[in-house]
Amino acid sequence: MTLCSENACVVASHIGLAEQFPDGMDVASGPTPKTEIDPSLSSVGSWRSAQNSVHVKLSFSAMSKRHLALILSAAWSCVSLAAPTPAPVRAEIDVLLARLQRSGCQFSRNGTWHDGPKAKEHLLNKLKYIERKGTVQSTEQFIELAGSASSSSGKAYEVKCGGAAPVQSQKWLTDELAKLRSSSVN
């Protein structure tokens, strides 16, 4: 597929989607997990994805280069929009996970039982991953996104305390959160 305008010409293969940007600048969009620029081309940039599924050649005037710089700057800004979890929410999550760690209960994920410290470590790693994607707005959201099921298998986590029957971790964490909140009010 070739898209050309006054300021830019895009050649793309194996993609079916292109976006029109201001002033007639056409930019093909598609999966480009790794990008490399071919420095041998003077006024033309060449990008290739790691799987060679996309090949794009762009030739820009000075005006188009400014637009591209603005677009890339805006895209980079979006990547850095993920803010840390608000301090009161993070403090509540930390106390909740400390309770899980000290509970003596076991935590099942993908069919394997783990002790409290391993459960806390795993859920903190999931929290870090989620925070890279965006801000966790509440402890309930943390429980829903990180503490209730495996993101790889979709299988619900479980918590088993002593001889009691296992319960879904979402229920256990929500019950513990309610206890935490009621004790902080009193």
58 with 99, same domain?
no
49 with 99, same domain?
no
Does residue 35 belong to any structural domain of this protein?
A: yes
Q: Which residue has the tokens 């093909």?
A: 28
- Residue 144 domain boundaries: 87-185
Does residue 81 belong to any structural domain of this protein?
A: no
Does residue 99 belong to any structural domain of this protein?
A: yes
- 66-80, 139-153, 165-179: least confidently modelled range: 66-80
Exposed (0-12), middle (13-18) or buried (19+): which is 71, by Cβ within 10 Å?
A: middle
Q: What is the pLDDT of residue 82?
A: 64
97 with 150, same domain?
yes
| Residue 12 clears pLDDT 90, i.e. is over it | no
117 with 54, same domain?
no
Over residues 23-44, the pLDDT tens digits come to 443 444 444 344 444 444 433 4
Does residue 107 belong to any structural domain of this protein?
A: yes
Over residues 127-145, the pLDDT tens digits come to 999 999 998 999 999 999 9
179 with 92, same domain?
yes
Element (H, E) at 62: helix 62-79
In angstroms, what CA-CA distances link 29 with 1, 53, 144? Answer: 12, 11, 32
93 with 181, same domain?
yes
Does residue 72 belong to any structural domain of this protein?
A: no
* 47 CB-near residues (< 8 Å, 6+ apart): 32, 35, 36, 37, 54, 55, 56, 58
Q: With pLDDT > 70 as the criterion, what percentage of the chain qualifies? A: 55
22 with 57, same domain?
yes
Q: For residues 134 and 124, is the Cβ–Cβ distance under 8 A?
A: no
24 with 106, same domain?
no
The number of distinct structural domains making up the chain is 2
The Cα–Cα gap between 63 and 122 comes to 49
58 with 147, same domain?
no
Closest CA to 86 of 52, 134, 40: 134
Q: What is the pLDDT of residue 185?
A: 77
What mean pLDDT do residues 65-94 have? Answer: 69
For the entire predicted model, the pTM comes to 0.57
Q: What is the pLDDT of residue 184?
A: 81
